[in-house]
Structure 1
């Protein structure tokens, strides 16, 4: 029997996961039709029946409800196996699924939410990760529409059973909405943007206490949407009327600066395939041999100009979610800073480049060693140091951008930000992570204005106990990353 689940080219081999599901279905098909036998299944029989039911639910649309009722009647493990198999299909096979099977996967996911199946939140995360940023193809927009509809439609159940999954959805849809709002007028996007705005605003207005668990990257993502009327209104309340959000103890948006964003959020905007390939590059590819791997990665994941925004997510992921072990750090494997340098060179749009640099330096602005990780700030300094002397333009550009952030990101918090950036430099130096830092302050390769400002940040006069973040009166001076920066366009040389 040919597969009804996958669309495979003639030269492609059978998939082992799909084959196991199909064989179970073929073996047990007579037992999948009512009336069902009144028999208690043994522990050995349950897994095969679950596989058969899953295959039937995804390939026999007209009998899908019958199959799920059969599952409800026979399940004995809290739906663990069913959910795990469904998540594996999403993670490993989604792109190859037949169109009807994709529809059934979304339907089955909704059914698992309704019964509070064990592990349903992991399944929803898997589906969220299949939405590709910057991809305006009909299939990708359909998946995005279905997922935001699911989160709105199952709101009460999700809020009761696993509210943190709503923060994962918020991260995703804030990022996706920024891409969708930049797109040229496209009627296909209108309904989708309305739903995305509805969900994100609902989260921020009704569950702001939950949103605070998101951490400081919530502010970074909201910056990209300040031009949208609904989010502009949220900004006004954050600045002028924080009590509007009804969260006890929340008095000012600057409080969010001190909250580190969990690393689990940063993989949400990478597909499992993109994450696997990126981790392979950072774990197995030797420094000096990376060019062909980078070329393949770019052709696969930056294949259209609109997908360039993924670079921002990858930079943030590398800084905050990929921590190579000691043996990798001390090997000749391509380091994190080198991959980030290549990604910055890959930027073609000014606003993407600005947002990528902000992603690189973001934790510097609020770094507190009591809650933050040194590994999050190390790649930026390593990139600046190792770009001397052959790629000095990159070093100049990064220093200029960092100083621009200090002076303009939030004028009310300028002293605090300067102190945190200075503390970041000092902490990295004290831990020996950048032994060649003197290259930045000696010689003639760094322009005198940059050198003098850097020396100021490295001086003992700025460094000490981390300065507490004070309440801000206004966020009107937040640097507008959406429209780029005042920096001149740099030529980013290959690193």
Structure 2
């Protein structure tokens, strides 16, 4: 018997989930008609009745209300089994569902919200994941519109029974709104944009305490729609008038920056099929054998120009929601940084490239080793270090972008950003992600201003400078190659030793007179500076910091002249 639930090609193997639902309906369909049986079913029959009713509701809309009444009469588990069957259909069969079944799926979801079914939050999250980013086809726009309407229409029920699912909807619709507003010429998006905007504004204005549970990525998404007047006003109130939200405990936007976003939110903008393929690529595919897998992924999910917006969500997912085990990290499986480097090459527009880099570095800006996960910042530093020297343009582009973020992302909270980035640099060395930063500081091909900025940043904005942040070349005055065994030592738990030095002001950045004296060569100056560094350490930490900065900057100048 042909399926009324999904589209099946003539030579396609039968789907086991669909088969189990259809067979249960074929056997039990006579029992689903009034008058209903008043006997309590045994556990096995209870499972079969739930399967039969799921199939009947989705495939026979004219009888759906009759089937649901029977479900209400026999339910004994708070609808947990019934809801789990619906979740399985959404995750496994949604792409194949016939149009009638898709419509019925939304209808029965509303019914489950009405009866406060156990697991309704999981069903709603699964449906949200089915809205594909960068897809402006009729079916995808219809689904987005239906779900936006559902969340607005069931606002009170959800707020009372499952308030946290509203944060998942906010994350999804705020992210989608940023994309939908970039295509103002598409008429069918007008109604969707209106409902997305209405829902998101209502969440900010009425339920900010729920919005805050998303964490710092809430602001990343909000900043993408600030040109929309109502969201610009929300931003201004968050920054200048936080008390207007009447949210106890919220007094400054810095509190949101300091709150890490849970990995479950990053899954919302990745479809189950994308997640499966990405996890397979990052778990089983060997480095050097990834080309055909990447090509297949690109053709399947990214080939159309408008779909490049998904790159932003994929990078955020890889950084924050896929953390490989130590066994995989130490194997020859393609690392996360290599996949992100490939994704960066797929960016066609400056807007997408900017946002992909922001997704890569976002946790750097507010990194706190006490609360943040080192795995979130690992891909960026490894991509910069491992791109030297073969792909130096990537290293320069990323490092330059990071410095521009530090200076411009939030000028009123620049000190917080500096502390975050400094902490990230320090922690990747301390935890052994890389053995030292000398490969960047002493790289001959790296732009001089980037090396000088890196040195000044590391020495001027950190509370302590790890010894292995000092370039090997500076200490020996002879170029040395970094040996892989150094990385192995740190991976085994060897920690860097910190030299406690205070924060320095800009006056410490000017070169000392001995460096500027034209009568001395750069090499002589360096030798003199290194000798004076020991004396400065004995005298005061401030002088030591100034001497250290002068040594590093002088070496960079010498290195550049030799290059």
Scaled by the length of structure 2, the TM-score of the pair is 0.81
Structure 1 equivalent of residue 292 of structure 2: 292
Q: 1:38 to 1:462 in 2, by over 3 A?
A: closer
Q: Per-residue CA shift, 1:284-340, capped at 9, x if unaligned?
A: 000011111111101111131111111000111111111000110000000000000
Structure 2 Cα separation of the partners of residues 89 and 51 of structure 1: 11
Indicate the residue corresponding to 2:386 in structure 1. 386
What residue number does 2:228 align with?
228
Residues 303 and 22 (structure 1 numbering): CA distance in 2 closer, same or farther, change over 3 Å?
same
User: Are 1:135 and 2:135 matched, yes or no?
Assistant: yes
Give secondary structure in 2 for the equivalent of 1:415: helix
CA deviations 1:59-85 (Å, max 9, x no partner) are: 001000111111000111111111111
Shift of 1:239: 2.0
Map of 1:33-432 to 2, 5 A cutoff? Answer: 33-432=33-432
Cα distance in structure 1, aligned partners of 2:214 and 2:47 = 37
**How far apart in 2 are the matches of 1:423 and 1:370?**
10
Give the superposition deviation at 1:39: 1.7
Aligned residue for 1:182, secondary structure, equals coil
Which has the higher mean CA deviation after the structures are superposed, 83-92 or 35-44?
35-44
Contact 2:367 2:424 (C-alpha < 8 Å) held by counterparts? yes
Q: Higher RCO, 1 or 2 (CA under 8 Å, sep at least 6)?
A: 1
SS in 2 for 1:213: helix
Measured after TM superposition, the shift of residue 242 of structure 1 is: 1.2
- Tell me which residue corresponds to 2:454: 454
Mapped partners of 1:339, 1:98: distance in 2: 35
Cα deviation, residue 45, structure 1: 1.1
Note if contact 2:329-2:335 (Cα within 8 Å) is conserved in structure 1: yes
CA distance in 2, matches of 1:199, 1:60: 32
Distance 2:289 2:174 in 1: 36
Structure 1, 454-463 or 133-142: larger mean CA deviation: 454-463
Please state how far the C-alpha of 1:436 moved relative to its aligned partner: 5.5
Do the aligned residues in 1 keep the contact of 2:5 with 2:101 (CA within 8 Å)? yes
Q: C-alpha separation between the residues in 2 aligned to 1:461 and 1:10? A: 66
Give the superposition deviation at 1:349. 1.1
* 1:6 and 2:6 aligned: yes
Contact 2:226–2:232, Cα closer than 8 Å, also in 1: yes
Residue 122 of structure 1: how far off its partner (Å): 0.3
Whole-angstrom CA distance in 1 between matches of 2:78 and 2:54 = 15
The structural deviation recorded for 1:460 is 6.8
Distance 1:262 1:302 in 2: 26
Of stretches 7-16 and 281-290 in structure 1, the one that deviates more from structure 2 is 7-16
Q: CA deviation at 1:229?
A: 1.2
1:435 aligns with 2:435: yes
How much has 1:437 moved relative to structure 2?
2.7
Distance 1:36 1:216, change over 3 A: same
SS at match of 2:5: coil
- Matched residue of 2:209: which SS? helix
CA-CA distance at 1:457 after TM superposition: 2.4
Q: Deviations over 1:33-67 (max 9, x none)?
A: 11112222112210011111110000001000111
The residue that corresponds to 1:476 in the other structure is: none
Distance in 1 (alpha carbons) for counterparts of 2:372 and 2:366: 9
Number of the residue aligned with 1:481: none
Structure 1 window deviating more from structure 2 (428-437 vs 379-388): it is 428-437
In structure 1, stretches of 5+ residues that fail to align are: 468-495
Instruction: Give the total of aligned pairs.
Output: 466
Which range moves more in the overlay, 243-252 or 153-162?
243-252
| Contact 2:378–2:428, Cα closer than 8 Å, also in 1 | yes
Q: Once the 2 structures are TM-superposed, how far is the Cα of residue 243 of structure 1 from its aligned partner? A: 1.1
- Assess, with a 3 A threshold, how the Cα gap between structure 1 residues 211 and 161 changes in structure 2: closer, same or farther: same
Cα deviation, 1:85-117, whole Å, max 9, x if unaligned, reads 110000000010000000011111111111111
Distance 2:90 2:215 in 1: 28
SS in 2 for 1:77: coil
| Structure 1 partner of 2:538 | none
Counterpart CA distance in 2 for 1:347 and 1:461 is: 33
Distance 2:270 2:442 in 1: 40
Mapped contact 2:316–2:359 kept (Cα < 8 A): yes
SS of structure 2 residue aligned to 1:44:
helix
**1:9 Cα offset (Å):** 1.4
CA contact (8 A) 2:419 2:461 kept: no
- Using the alignment, how far apart are the partners of 2:461 and 2:81 within structure 1? 59
